[in-house]
Copies of this chain bind each other. A is one copy, B any other.
Amino acid sequence: MEIIKVFSPATIGNIGPGFDVLGLAIKGLGDVVEARKISSGIVVKANGSKWNVPLNSRENTASIAAQHVLDILGEKGGIEITLTKGLPIGSGLGSSAASAAAGAFAANYLYGNRLSKEELILPATKAEAVVSGGFFADNTAPALLGGATLTRSCEPLDVTRIGSIDALKLVIVIPDLVVLTKDARAILPKFVNLHNFVMNMANTALITAAFSKNDYGLFSRCLNDAIIEPVRSTLIRGYHTVRDKALEAGADGMAISGSGPTLFAITNSMEKAKAIQKAMVQGFKENDVHAESHITEVDREGTRLLPK
């Protein structure tokens, strides 16, 4: 029986000011699903993960997404999934979305490959919603499509590929802190003042132009969120120290990835990226927080088959 191997990248929800709208796939971090057809049912196994991966197929986003895809395709057969987590759960890097995207992709591929990646966004997003408690495509869409994506609406789903920025270096810092998505949602403001609304809208539109035009210079000016970050940053110990240090070290901006606690900073220089990485990790350390860090770039491809 054919065994396939699927990779799905980590993603940065919001890209700063674009709350619930923008998302970006990044290289290096991601989940791998090995999958094969079985006669019926969905089986999930975990491949030596240091994170606590749920092995009940109704709780794992990879298997839930795979089941949704089989339902769409009208297939009665089953699938066995072995999940290798390559990014931490609950970090704000779209961990459950990556698993969901990989599971959806694998099921579609094994059963005739009749759905486009765009058509896999809905089942993957439904699967992620079971775990995250909210129906949002700002991680599943970029995880599947690659590059930056814009979600205009979730019901009905309306997602647009925006593009990429070749010169962009991303410094990803994952502190050893827990921020529950439901806490990060509960803390959101219910109302926004008109001035901040205009400012976030302008920054998000400019980021969209930057990814559309592959223009790092535009992006470097507008990674600033006046609305959500001021409240969510209170859930991340050391946030202000780390931000100050990132900017001092030459970052053109820094923001929370998704609902956190992961932070990301941007630059177009590998030399600066290394200095920023060091400074940010040091900033957490000064607040007694251990942090893992990576320098990476945009993943343009999204979820894909890996060579066996």
| Chain A contacts to B: CB under 8 angstroms | 18-22, 150-153, 158, 160, 162, 188-194, 197-209, 212-213, 218, 221-222, 227
CA distance A227 to B196 in the complex (A): 14
CB proximity of A241 to chain B, nearest CB, Å: 27
Pairwise interchain contact B158-A205, C-beta atoms closer than 8 A: no
Q: Using Cβ atoms and an 8 Å threshold, which residues of chain B touch A189? A: 194
Per the bound structure, the CA–CA distance linking A209 and B149 in Å amounts to 11
Q: A152-B222, A212-B212, A221-B158 are in contact. Are A21 and B191 (CB under 8 A)?
A: no
Q: Is the CB of B201 within 8 A of A21?
A: yes
CB-defined contacts of A191 to chain B, threshold 8 Å:
191-194
Query: What is the distance, in angstroms, from A71's C-beta to the closest C-beta of chain B?
Result: 28
Assuming A191-B193, A192-B191, A194-B190, is B18 touching A150 (CB within 8 A)?
no
Q: Are the CB atoms of A209 and B206 closer together than 8 Å?
A: no
Can you report 28 residue pairs joining A to B where beta carbons are below 8 Å apart?
A18-B201, A18-B205, A19-B197, A19-B198, A21-B198, A21-B205, A22-B205, A150-B202, A150-B209, A151-B202, A152-B203, A152-B222, A153-B199, A158-B221, A160-B218, A162-B209, A188-B194, A191-B191, A191-B194, A197-B227, A200-B201, A201-B201, A201-B205, A204-B204, A205-B205, A205-B207, A208-B209, A212-B212
Q: Are A19 and B150 in contact (CB under 8 A)?
A: no
Given known A-B contacts A197-B227, A213-B212, A221 and B190 have beta carbons under 8 A apart? no
